Structure 1
Amino acid sequence: MTIYFQGSFQRGFGTYPLKGDALRAAALTAIEAGYRAFDTAQMYGNEAETGAALASSGIARNDLCITTKVHPDNYCEEKFLPSVEASLKALQVDRVDALLLHWPPADGDVAPSLRLLQSAREKGLADAIGVSNYTARMMHVARAVIDEPLVTNQVEFHPLVDQRKLLAAASETGIPLSSYASIARGEVFKHGLFAEIGRTYGKSAAQVVLRWILQKGVPLNTMSTKPENIRANFDIMDFTLSSIDMERIDALNATGYRIIKAGQLPWAPEWD
């Protein structure tokens, strides 16, 4: 089993929507800052550029945790494994540390794609497997459908959306959550509470948000092209939010801000 989400791998660098020179520069800055977990996807169209950047970094493969995600258009027997093999070739690796299903299938029947995902693991194409954008119900179905443990359900997770049902499902199924859109694509900065709390700890508003996510027990992914932000997003392990500050931030869950709404994409489900 991979050491997915242990130690420094709790803080991953997301590559969406980066491409070209911007991706290479950001990834190498992230390596320098201490990141060793990198997240990409077939849908992003940047696996080859991500692979090239990591290959040029000088970091040993075993010291990296690479995650990619299968496009829903490839959730069929004739496409699934060939698409994963193409991803590995693009990433310049013989297996990924974690292979995820990027979205539930449009018809909501998660069982067939989960079995295909398990077959990729059995063929040695991934050290671990997981899912993304699953509802609580889907997490329970997944746990019943396949024997292989799922290392994550990667979901939109930030203080402006209430994900208590998914956190409960994570506890019930043993499928941990991990976050994307960890600062709600900047929406959190419209709320002065984070900067106010940050002044108490000598940290930025973004660092407070990211620390809140980690203290919820949720590993996170962040993305930036600015070197100072890349470094700051990684530098969140030297302070702990008090229970009072955690509760103040929790109250913002009622904002109900969600970046990707049901129906916005063909595969976006009715969220919990």
Structure 2
Amino acid sequence: MNIYFQKSFQRGFGTFPLKGDDLRNAIDAAIAAGYRAFDTAQMYGNEAETGAALAACGVAREKLCITTKVHPDNYTEAAFLPSVVASLKALQIDRVDVLLLHWPPADGDVAPSLRLLQSAREAGLAGAIGVSNYTARMMHVARATVDGPLVTNQVEFHPLLDQRKLLAAATETGIPLSSYASVARGEVFKHGLFAEIGTAYGKSAAQVVLRWILQKGVPLNTMSTKPENIRANFEIMDFTLSSIDMDRIDALTATGHRIVKTGLLPWVPEWD
């Protein structure tokens, strides 16, 4: 089974942009709420603090799923594997559960960095590998380039953005999507439909949004510093949205609200 589709790991806790006490307290609250999957990255500058918090959290290492991502500046033969070794040292682990390429390279030629990613798995530095922020075309190149499974393409995914092309590519390539920016950095709360639907289920607007993502077959990452929100974001497995309500939410994908726009960072591709 894909590690992200294990029930305990479908709901991950993202650590960006947290640092210091905010990060430690949030991880402690996430552990208490039941989270066992945690997401960080070289780019976030918080791997060491994340590793320290998880090492001290009281949960056995084998019950955690730790994901980190390689910075595009390290997509060279000389830098790639040493950067992963440095991440493992910072995280206080011998092997990361999931290692992702954080972005496609700026020139769009994804094959070289994919081969480096595969070498990290072959070297035993990662239990599973995947990508992030890939277009549908890039997903097809990845499938043709890498031997063995790619466990995810982590992308911006929420009900205000139409990602049908990526969902189709996930089916075609066998590379599942997972989400970041799952509540569109709060933009979803400007739409009353989620609270309206939530009332019928005894759930909050945010819980409806997250449940919609899961029912799309997309494991998710959420982040909050408020213990009550951290807990609520986790407590979404005890209800199922009806097909009618799913369709009502689907209609909002036509909004086309994208947070990570082309040009925002040097590596952001031309999106599908």
Structure 2 counterparts to residues 84-99 of structure 1, below 5 A: 84-99=84-99
Could you tell me how far apart the structure 1 residues matched to 2:194 and 2:179 are?
Answer: 18
8 A contact 1:177–1:218 mirrored in 2: yes
Q: For each residue in 1:1-48, what CA deviation from the matched residue of structure 2 results, as whole angstroms up to 9, or x when unmatched?
A: 873331110000000000001000000110000000000000000000
8 A contact 2:24–2:53 mirrored in 1: yes
Structure 2 counterparts to residues 1-272 of structure 1, below 5 A: 3-272=3-272
> SS of the residue aligned with 1:179?
strand
Q: For each residue in 1:22-76, what CA deviation from the matched residue of structure 2 results, as whole angstroms up to 9, or x when unmatched?
A: 0000001100000000000000000000000000001100000000000000000
Unaligned runs of 5+ in 1: none
Q: CA RMSD in A?
A: 0.8
The TM-score normalised by the length of structure 1 is: 0.99
Percent pairwise identity: 86
8 A contact 1:4–1:97 mirrored in 2: no
Q: For each residue in 1:76-116, what CA deviation from the matched residue of structure 2 results, as whole angstroms up to 9, or x when unmatched?
A: 00000000000000000000100000000000000000000
Aligned-residue offset at 1:263: 1.3
The TM-score normalised by the length of structure 2 is: 0.99
What amino acid sits opposite 1:267 in the alignment? Answer: W
Q: For each residue in 1:135-173, what CA deviation from the matched residue of structure 2 results, as whole angstroms up to 9, or x when unmatched?
A: 000000000011121000000000000000000000000
What amino acid sits opposite 1:200 in the alignment? Answer: A
Pairs aligned (count): 272
What amino acid sits opposite 2:148 in the alignment? Answer: E
Unaligned runs of 5+ in 2: none
8 A contact 1:98–1:127 mirrored in 2: yes
Q: For each residue in 1:163-197, what CA deviation from the matched residue of structure 2 results, as whole angstroms up to 9, or x when unmatched?
A: 00000000000000000000000000000000000
What amino acid sits opposite 2:211 in the alignment? Answer: R
